[in-house]
Structure 1
């Protein structure tokens, strides 16, 4: 059977299962989420064993440390994943929410309500936690999930999805609301991207190449998640101790994720005082700084290039520059940013307002670490991704972003 035929068969099963899930009450969906969390912990040994095999293969093949970190599961991370599922169960069910409603002049009652997409396809790299997050968010929002992870987490995904499918069956839902998309080659990915009419939306999550490929080649509608070329700007009115803590946390708290800072901009008026603090603090934590001439005046700072300014490093590297003004910082960000997250550190309310208005990114932080751009931190529960596009969803995508709407019109024999 061709890859296309296999994928269409899987997608057809997801479509059939989605009809049952769409009418399931919240109590059943929440019970499924709790069952999924319990099952992941009860069967942790088999999940962690499968993941260990993936990690060993990645290390043997020379995968970078940030990739190995992304695909690694530990008992602690598994505990966190299970907690996220339970937190998701506690959140309101978006399905059926009335977005707006009115009684028209002719007496018709009009309601716009949230409804599931139907079948959501996820195409993603590494990060087996995404398998669980996506399955959970899709289930809570009434969507069947088709999960196509990268080949380096194939064993983990098979083990995780087997656990999740058993869990949803235990509460009376069809197993096919959660499926691994079979195949490890590009043919299966391409077939999923062409399954228009069976898959309702695709969400790519990974590097720039993956996202570009899905956006450009898919005939199924795509919600684009973006890479994180994230900036921190330290304004002339910044509290420098506060700024130092924010820069360090934004860059080093976890480097392999998309909300980690990749570029540092410092206002010229405070550079002479701030650079001697921030440069050694970053270097003590192993960060390699690629800086402009002002930064290069200090030891062990490498010259910065346009490639550095454009890079999502996902490791202990950062580009850095001194800028003459807030507007210059904004211009730099407009040129190099991927539209994910930017931060300003300042005690000047006017500067903060100008920055937040002028910077066109999905999230803008004022006196806070860029690491807060996250569905869990925003109180959305586990996120399915961070959208950097402007249509349908932008920023961390939680439950409401995984729904569409329809109009329900009620009359009493009205005719036009």
Structure 2
């Protein structure tokens, strides 16, 4: 066994032990630990920014050599404002309702025999993510709040930032709270450690990769651990013939330009051909003034002077100030294009016709579908989830921005009073009542009755 295998096994084992204890840490202690993390991020601001500057300097050198993209460098950068946002996000997670212990359903099987379905942590979660150092903090905060131990693997381009943030998180929690187990968060760095991690299906309960479809497929093909993937966002905005064109221009601009490096930025603009001549010239001028490189199909290029789009463009996540434009005949043409080329992430229709909006929103296969709103709203914090581990483009077990609820599963708790299965079998079997209850489970709730 290599040193990496040995270290990874030890880290995962430590996380597994911590998970069993963390599941029983009360909400007050978990929230106090989260607030301690937020305070520590504020206190160590200069240290974090210095580490991040090292990463950014190296990344910019890689950018000059053509090995990194500008979008990656943009996602990597931290400043004082972003650190305030990160700390605020941690505090927001602390303020969320406790996802653990909630009674999801209650049913009387017979008098004195009651079955409860109760929310519990998943256990040990592993995440592999790319250049954004804030992802490490978001994921750790959500794991702690939801009672899960977490294995964190960031991209090598953010090593210094991730190490510093991880150390701050561990120092803020380990030994500071009597009930909080040390080792609930672990950091791994080498590719060999990831490969070893993927073999530990007896200790890791869920893997959540964030990256390209190829990367997520690699993870899925090389592990027996359940995988909840966050893949690229090939997002669309469709401007309908009955859109408020002034509003549509603002939304389409925001969806691309407000922050183009993220997965919920629009990559393809679909425009109804009946309004294209009126709508496109002004928007194209505005895009070009903002530095957006534009490509279009033949019909679009008859109206505006932009580059030629290829078939590959319709399936490309640019993650930068680039956008493709295509004209469509109606909402059903738009739906067909999105379902054929999108990544099931986030799509938006701009229209004042409620029936057309309904057709688009019900006809699109995506985790989030919006009406008259920018795709940039697809975000765990903006959804009121506190933060997100990622945005799941699959359908099982969580979809869209994955917050606290997506990091829980459930157990069945049965409360009885000496009940026997034999009572309900054979010729003299008693019937079950199977009556829904409006009662929350509490430990040993029938013991004193």
TM norm structure 2: 0.90
Structure 2 match to 1:217: 222
Q: Which of 186, 199, 217 lines up with 1:179 in the alignment? A: 186
- Superposed displacement of residue 300, structure 1: 4.2
Are the aligned partners of 2:280 and 2:304 in contact in 1 as well (CA < 8 Å)?
no
Per the alignment, residue 330 of structure 1 pairs with: 335
How far off is 1:272 after superposition?
1.5
Match of 2:292 among 263, 287, 294: 287
Question: Residues 166 and 175 of structure 1 are in contact (CA less than 8 Å); yes or no, is this contact kept in structure 2?
Answer: no
Alpha-carbon deviations, 1:14-49, whole Å to 9, x = none?
Answer: 011112211000000000000000011111121111
Partner of residue 389, structure 2: 384
The alignment status of 1:77 with 2:77, answered yes or no, reads: no
Structure 2: runs of 5 or more not aligned: 422-449
Give the distance between the partners of 1:300 and 1:350, measured in 2 at CA.
34
User: Deviation digits for residues 176-228 of structure 1, max 9, x if unmatched?
Assistant: 111111x42x2111111111111110100122332221122122111111210
**Paired residues for 1:392-411 under 5 Å:** 392-411=397-416
Q: Please list, as runs of the form range in 1=range in 2, the aligned pairs for 1:187-198 lying within 5 A after superposition.
A: 187-198=192-203
Counterparts of 1:300 and 1:72 in 2: how far apart (Å)?
Answer: 34
Task: Give a deviation string over 1:236-286, Cα, whole Å, max 9, x none.
Answer: 110000100110000110000000000000011111211122211211111
1:367 alignment partner, one of 361, 369, 372: 372
After TM superposition, give the deviation of residue 107 of structure 1 in Å.
Answer: 3.6
> Which has the larger displacement, 90-99 or 212-221?
212-221
User: Offset of 1:295 from its aligned partner?
Assistant: 1.9
Whole-Å separation in 2 of the counterparts to 1:209 and 1:56 = 28
Kept in 1: contact 2:380–2:402 (CA 8 A): yes
- Map of 1:11 onto structure 2: 12
The C-alpha deviation readout for 1:118-138, integer Å capped at 9, x for no partner, is: 111010111000000000000
- Displacement of 1:105: 3.1
- Residue 119 of structure 1 corresponds to which residue in structure 2? 124
Larger radius of gyration: 2
d(CA) in 2 for partners of 1:213, 1:300: 40
Residues 277 and 303 in structure 2, CA contact (< 8 A), matched pair in contact too:
no
Q: Distance in 2 between matches of 1:386 and 1:188?
A: 24
Q: How much has 1:142 moved relative to structure 2?
A: 0.1
Distance 1:38 1:150 in 2: 25
- 1:65 paired to 2:52: no
Match of 1:203 among 205, 208, 213: 208
Give the Cα separation in 1 of the matches to 2:177 and 2:75: 31
Compute the TM-score of the two structures, normalised by the length of structure 1. Answer: 0.97
Q: Counterpart in 1 of 2:36?
A: 35
Does the aligned pair in 2 maintain the 1:8–1:198 contact within 8 Å? no
1:48 is matched with 49
Kept in 1, the 8 Å contact 2:281–2:304? The answer is no
1:343 pairs with one of 334, 341, 348: 348
Gaps (5+ residues) in structure 1?
Answer: none
Q: RMSD over aligned Cα, in angstroms?
A: 1.1
2:446 is matched with which residue?
none
Q: Which residue of 1 aligns with 2:443?
A: none
Name the stretch that deviates more: 246-255 or 272-281.
272-281
Moved more, 396-405 or 205-214: 205-214
> Deviations 1:286-342 (Å, cap 9, x if unpaired)?
111110112212554111111100100000111111111111111110110000000
**How much has 1:8 moved relative to structure 2?**
1.3
* Residue 269 (structure 1) aligns with: 274
